[in-house]
A and B are shown apart, each in its own frame.
Chain A
Amino acid sequence: MSKFNKKKDSAVPAVNTASLPDIVFMLLFFFMTVTVMKDTSVKVQNELPKASEIKKLEKKDRIITIYVGSPTEEYQKVFGTEAKIQLNDKFSNPSEVGPYILAERAKKSEDLQNFLTTSLKVDKNANMGIISDIKEELRKVNALKINYTTYEGNAFENLNR
């Protein structure tokens, strides 16, 4: 009978947390593998529209990114709410797009220079005027391959609102 008595008088055992690190490590590795390091901080509102007929941008070393959108709240006092172009870390005029593309192109290795794609990450509320200006600049420097970067989804959801 003493077998049963022994158990009764001991306190509630502590929950074993030895496997907690394993679980957290699993999460950690998941995030490490699916994400990439941010190289520039985005200073514009950048909610991309949705599209369904999308193609993946495969090679990351062949992409030049241009952000467009209205400045985030902390910059709105200085730059207003009108959509702006962000190149690297600063707001720019459409006329600076051409030199930026040429500078970025010069940074890439020579065998890639003819295969570059310009990825336009444009906020869904931007106007087409600024996009047309960018496209005109891109044509001037012969950067003709562009990609309107979007989220995957139903394109008609863009129109609600």
Chain B
Amino acid sequence: MPRRGAPPEVNAGSMADIAFLLLIFFLVTTTIETDAGLDRMLPPIDENVVDPPIIKQKNIFTVNINKNGQLLVEDELAEIKDLKEKAIAFLDNGGAASGTEDYCNYCKGKRDEASSDNPTKAIISLKNDRETKYNVYITVQNEIVAAYNELRNREALRLYKRNFTDMEAEYLNPETSDEAKEVLKDRVKNIQDLFPQKFSEAETSSGK
């Protein structure tokens, strides 16, 4: 065969091998980051408090988890899937009579005298056993946060026509501009004040 005029092509066959090598290197040395979760604040250790403040029993919503993952909500056995509904009913109750100081004008609950007076007074108390499994605990935490988020979303939609969770995510996002943050800060704060997360975790019991 006669030779052609064009120069011979560079053999690029091994390029794929080199790229594969790099690819495999990155595959084994890296992990996809799981950088999301449930945020919580722990209570500070305060030695000055002598008497704990007196809280009316009706303003406390007790959740007990035993070591088998069973739930005792307000002294009654309950399923985890009903927990969110019960927490919402409790938080949104607004039991204080209209005209009194604690009256809640945005609550849509049953206004039951025997349940919480006002969302700002309502406390959820969570207690667990030392042998409670972590996944049950997280599910319970998740449901309680979901109850708060649902109520906050409802108020945010009413006041600002936006979901609270969206607003909060945008506020926390470092890419949001400062002016937008300024506006969001007040709104997020406002909604948080309507339904503050008052969430108490007792020391775990080691009993049976």
Q: Which bracket fits the contact residues of B?
A: 35 or more
Stretch of B25-33, B55-63, B98-106, B116-124 on the interface side = B25-33
In this assembly, does A129 line the interface, its C-beta being within 8 Å of a C-beta of chain B?
A: yes
Bound-complex Cα distance A23 to B19 (A): 9
The answer to whether A31 touches B134 (Cβ under 8 A) is no
The answer to whether B39 touches A31 (Cβ under 8 A) is no
In whole Å, how far is B130's beta carbon from the nearest beta carbon of chain A? 3
Q: Name the A residues within 8 Å of B45 (CB-CB).
A: 139-140, 142
Can you show 12 pairs from A to B with CB atoms below 8 A apart?
A: A24-B16, A32-B26, A59-B174, A131-B134, A132-B203, A138-B42, A144-B42, A147-B39, A148-B40, A148-B138, A149-B34, A159-B139
- Indicate which residue in B33, B69, B80, B172 contacts A36 across the interface (CB closer than 8 Å): B33
Bound-complex Cα distance A152 to B18 (A): 35
| Contact digits for A98-141, partner B, Cβ 8 Å, 1 yes 0 no | 00000000000000000001010111111111011001101110
The answer to whether B15 touches A35 (Cβ under 8 A) is no
The answer to whether B36 touches A152 (Cβ under 8 A) is yes
In this assembly, does B54 line the interface, its C-beta being within 8 Å of a C-beta of chain A?
A: no
Bound-complex Cα distance A49 to B80 (A): 16
| Contact digits for A11-41, partner B, Cβ 8 Å, 1 yes 0 no | 0000001101100110110011011111000
Nearest A residue to B175, CB-CB: A58
In this assembly, does B107 line the interface, its C-beta being within 8 Å of a C-beta of chain A?
A: no
Stretch of B85-93, B140-148, B154-162, B177-185 on the interface side = B140-148
A-B pairs with lowest CB-CB distance, top 8: A35-B30, A129-B130, A158-B135, A149-B37, A124-B135, A21-B15, A24-B19, A155-B142
The answer to whether A127 touches B33 (Cβ under 8 A) is no
- Indicate which residue in A17, A128, A151, A159 contacts B34 across the interface (CB closer than 8 Å): A151
In this assembly, does A150 line the interface, its C-beta being within 8 Å of a C-beta of chain B?
A: yes
Known contacts A51-B38, A58-B173: A155-B143 contact under CB 8 Å: yes
| Contact digits for B1-33, partner A, Cβ 8 Å, 1 yes 0 no | 000000000001101101110110011011111
Q: Name the A residues within 8 Å of B81 (CB-CB).
A: 156
- Indicate which residue in A49, A51, A124, A128 contacts B131 across the interface (CB closer than 8 Å): A128
In this assembly, does B136 line the interface, its C-beta being within 8 Å of a C-beta of chain A?
A: yes
In this assembly, does B41 line the interface, its C-beta being within 8 Å of a C-beta of chain A?
A: yes
In this assembly, does A93 line the interface, its C-beta being within 8 Å of a C-beta of chain B?
A: no
The answer to whether A28 touches B19 (Cβ under 8 A) is yes
Q: Name the B residues within 8 Å of A117 (CB-CB).
A: 39
Nearest B residue to A147, CB-CB: B37
In whole Å, how far is A157's beta carbon from the nearest beta carbon of chain B? 9
Nearest A residue to B31, CB-CB: A38
The answer to whether A124 touches B133 (Cβ under 8 A) is yes
Bound-complex Cα distance A34 to B27 (A): 11
- Indicate which residue in B37, B38, B169, B204 contacts A129 across the interface (CB closer than 8 Å): B204
The answer to whether A49 touches B139 (Cβ under 8 A) is yes
The answer to whether A49 touches B35 (Cβ under 8 A) is no
In this assembly, does B199 line the interface, its C-beta being within 8 Å of a C-beta of chain A?
A: no
The answer to whether B35 touches A56 (Cβ under 8 A) is yes
Apart from A54-B36, A127-B132, 8 more pairs, CB < 8 Å: A35-B32, A51-B138, A55-B37, A56-B35, A125-B135, A127-B131, A144-B43, A148-B138
- Indicate which residue in B36, B40, B137, B143 contacts A128 across the interface (CB closer than 8 Å): B137
Nearest B residue to A135, CB-CB: B42
In this assembly, does A145 line the interface, its C-beta being within 8 Å of a C-beta of chain B?
A: yes
In whole Å, how far is A17's beta carbon from the nearest beta carbon of chain B? 7
